[in-house]
């Protein structure tokens, strides 16, 4: 006898955010870093900033650190994002 | 009852198992086939329409509907009478202060501890005594398992997907117990949260693995509680120093000594609050000297206040045992207590 059983997954059609159009160059651009604030992020973002400035001509790098590394970015950080050309989000694990 | 979930067909019981395992819809154990009849029975018992919105997952805004909860509850082995507890527990987990996404995604690998209070403990024939942190009874086993299947299937909290736990712990299979209110003179956990004794309630906490303690060689409250405090201090040294909700389980033998000396839960919490604290410099004793920095003399309490300690009366009648259940990570997630099938100080229902 065939059993009919129900799908336990969410099946929810929730719109996810889409990636922004890719830039052709980082020259003169503003890059925002969103760090989760863990110990491992410090060296990573410092090194990433050096590379972006020296090798890609990035004009400005802004570092923002979440107040809670297990929660989404704070509202004030999210509100700043439209002013940036690029966002890099990083975890310190 | 009109259900909207996709229907799958399988040749027999074993085929259902393989179908669900192959989709990643299980915890590795066999599941009860979620037929429309079984799911409808859960919803009818709780008087919930299938499309009832229980809440939205706070980060990804996933709608959590009663029908999907019921499907997963049936799979876990829940009977209709168990389902209201599952609904209340998930509602509690969706409160912002629980920080569901962080708690279930974290490398820290915590589980959701669920504590039952009130008449529902008796209605569901729970066993809050022998082997209370193991497979003590059917109800707590399947209710705890239902929460895990819900996380896996509705929010993709699978190992390596949303669940990034480095280790996890066995409580992630099922981590539910009832408080032994009938053999305790203390206020229940729910009563401490101002929920009347006549109402049933659930408490959820993002919890690490239990750490068992033993002290059978004293009847003095201060000495008994020092053993609990020492275990908390050990957790602060070896795992995380940050303050938050700790839970302690005090089994009957030690509870009787405390009760005989006239100590209430409030007294116990105050004593533990005073004793469970360490200097940051103690990290250097356990290999973490690199992060002591210039704050070695700073004292860190295990809790920000005594009421952050959840004291649970449970466990078998013999043995000077207890357990400390540490928080996932300090105060990032707060324990939440909600009544079951009732609403105290209700706000408007959530909307899509």
Residue B189 resides in a domain: yes
8 Å CB contact of B10 and A12: no
DSSP 8-state assignment for residue B348: P
Residue B4 domain-assigned (yes or no): no
Q: Looking at residue B348, what is its pLDDT?
A: 62
Give me the DSSP letters along B159-177: BTTTB--SS--GGGT--EE
Interface touch A14/B63, C-beta < 8 Å? yes
Q: Do A37 and A65 contact (CB within 8 A), yes or no?
A: yes
ipTM of the complex: 0.93
Global pTM? 0.93
Q: Which residues of B touch A70 (CB under 8 A)?
A: 99, 101-103, 105-106, 329, 332-333
Judge if B97 and B214 occupy the same domain: no
Assess whether B196 and B60 both reside in one domain.
yes
What does the pLDDT read at residue A15? Answer: 67
Q: Are residues B195 and B152 in the same domain?
A: yes
Q: Is the pLDDT of residue B125 over 80?
A: yes
Looking at the fold, whether B202 and B214 belong to one and the same domain comes out as no
Dist. CA B250–CA B314, nearest whole Å? 6
For the stretch B296-301, contacts whose Cβ atoms lie closer than 8 Å and that sit 24 or more positions apart, written own/partner, are: B300/B236, B300/B241, B300/B242, B300/B243, B301/B243, B301/B273, B301/B276, B301/B277
Which residue bears the tokens 């997630």? B333
Q: Minimal Cα–Cα distance from B102 to chain A, Å?
A: 5
Distance CA B148, CA B138 (A): 16
Question: Do B200 and B317 share a domain, yes or no?
Answer: no
B346 pLDDT band, cuts 50/70/90, is low
pLDDT at B344: 62
Question: What's the confidence (pLDDT) of residue A39?
Answer: 82
In a domain, B7, yes or no: no
B34 & B176 share domain: yes
CA distance B152 to B26: 8
Q: Specify if B349 maps to a domain.
A: no
A25: pLDDT strictly greater than 90: yes
Can you give the residue range of the structural domain that contains B101? 13-208+332-342
Tell which of A4, A5, A74, A75 to mutate to test the B interface (max B CBs under 10 Å): A5
Q: In terms of domains, do B229 and B160 share one? A: no
The dihedral formed by the CA atoms of B35, B41, B43 and B45, expressed in degrees to the nearest 10: -160
Using CB atoms, pick whichever of B36, B102, B333 lies closest to residue A6: B36
Q: Which residue among B34, B68, B153 places its CB closest to the CB of A5?
A: B34
- CB-CB contact of B114 with B76 (8 Å): no
> Same structural domain for residues B193 and B221?
no
Q: CA B266 → CA A35, B216, B300, distances in Å?
A: 40, 23, 21
Question: For residue B8, what is the enclosing H or E element?
Answer: strand B7-10
pLDDT at B351 over 70: no
Give dist(CA B48, CA B91) in Å, integer. Answer: 14
Q: Which regions of B259-335 does DSSP assign to beta strands (E)?
A: 277-279, 299-301, 309-313, 321-325
Render pLDDT for B26-72 as a digit per residue (tens, 0 to 9). 999 999 999 999 999 999 999 999 999 999 998 888 999 999 999 99
The alpha-carbon gap from B259 to the nearest alpha carbon of chain A, in Å, equals 40
**Do B213 and B291 reside in the same domain of the chain?**
yes
- Asked if B239 and B163 sit in the same domain, the reply is no
* Residue numbers in A near B71 (CB within 8 A): 6-8
Q: Are residues B296 and B337 in the same domain?
A: no
Average pLDDT score over residue span B223-229: 98
From the candidates B17, B25, B34, which should be mutated to test the interface with A, based on the most A CB atoms within 10 A?
A: B34
Q: Are residues B52 and B126 in the same domain?
A: yes
Smallest Cβ–Cβ distance between A8 and the set B12, B71, B103 belongs to B71
Total of domains in chain B: 2
The partner residue sitting opposite A4, judged by closest CB among B20, B36, B154, is B36
Across the interface, do A6 and B72 touch by the CB < 8 Å criterion?
Answer: no
Full 3-state SS string of A39-73: HHHHHHHHHHHHHHHHHHCCCEEEEEECCCCCCCC
> In angstroms, rounded to a whole number, what is the distance separating the alpha carbons of residues B10 and B8?
7
């Amino acid at each position: 006898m065939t059993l009919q059983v129900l799908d336990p997954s969410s099946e929810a059609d929730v719109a996810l955010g889409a990636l922004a159009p890719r830039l052709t160059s980082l020259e003169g651009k503003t890059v925002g870093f969103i760090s989760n604030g863990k110990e491992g992020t410090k060296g990573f973002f410092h090194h990433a900033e050096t590379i972006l400035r020296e090798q890609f001509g990035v004009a400005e790098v802004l570092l923002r650190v979440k107040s809670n590394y297990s929660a989404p970015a704070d509202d004030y950080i999210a509100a700043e994002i439209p002013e940036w050309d690029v966002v890099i989000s990083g975890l310190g694990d | 009852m009109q259900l909207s979930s996709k229907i799958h067909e399988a040749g027999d019981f074993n085929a259902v198992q393989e179908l669900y395992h192959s989709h990643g819809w299980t915890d590795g154990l066999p599941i009860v086939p979620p037929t429309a009849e079984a799911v409808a029975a859960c919803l009818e018992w709780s008087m919930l329409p299938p499309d009832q919105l229980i809440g939205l997952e706070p980060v990804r805004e996933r709608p959590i509907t009663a029908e999907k909860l019921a499907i997963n509850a049936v799979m876990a082995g829940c009977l209709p009478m168990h389902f209201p507890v599952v609904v209340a527990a998930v509602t509690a987990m969706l409160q912002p202060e629980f920080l569901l996404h962080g708690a279930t995604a974290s490398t820290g690998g915590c589980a959701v501890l669920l504590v039952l209070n009130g008449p529902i403990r008796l209605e569901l024939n729970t066993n809050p005594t022998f082997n209370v942190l193991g497979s003590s009874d059917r109800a707590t086993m399947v209710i705890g398992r239902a929460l895990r299947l819900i996380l896996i299937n509705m929010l993709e909290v699978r190992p390596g997907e949303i669940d990034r736990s480095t280790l996890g712990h066995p409580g992630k299979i099922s981590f539910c117990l009832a408080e032994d209110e009938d053999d305790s003179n203390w206020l229940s956990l729910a009563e401490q949260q101002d929920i009347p004794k006549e109402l049933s309630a659930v408490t959820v906490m993002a919890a690490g693995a239990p750490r068992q303690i033993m002290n059978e060689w004293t009847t003095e409250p201060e000495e008994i509680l020092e053993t609990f405090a020492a275990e908390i201090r050990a957790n602060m040294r070896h795992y995380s120093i940050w303050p938050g909700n700790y839970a302690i389980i005090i089994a009957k033998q030690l509870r009787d000594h405390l009760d005989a000396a006239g100590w209430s839960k409030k007294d116990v919490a105050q004593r533990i609050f005073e004793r469970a604290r360490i200097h940051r410099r103690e990290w250097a004793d356990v290999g973490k000297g690199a992060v002591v920095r210039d704050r070695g003399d700073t004292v860190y309490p295990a809790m920000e206040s005594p009421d952050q300690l959840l004291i649970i009366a449970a466990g078998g009648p013999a043995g000077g045992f207890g357990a400390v259940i540490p928080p996932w990570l300090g105060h990032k997630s707060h324990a939440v207590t909600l009544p079951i099938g009732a609403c105290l100080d209700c706000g408007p229902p959530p909307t899509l």
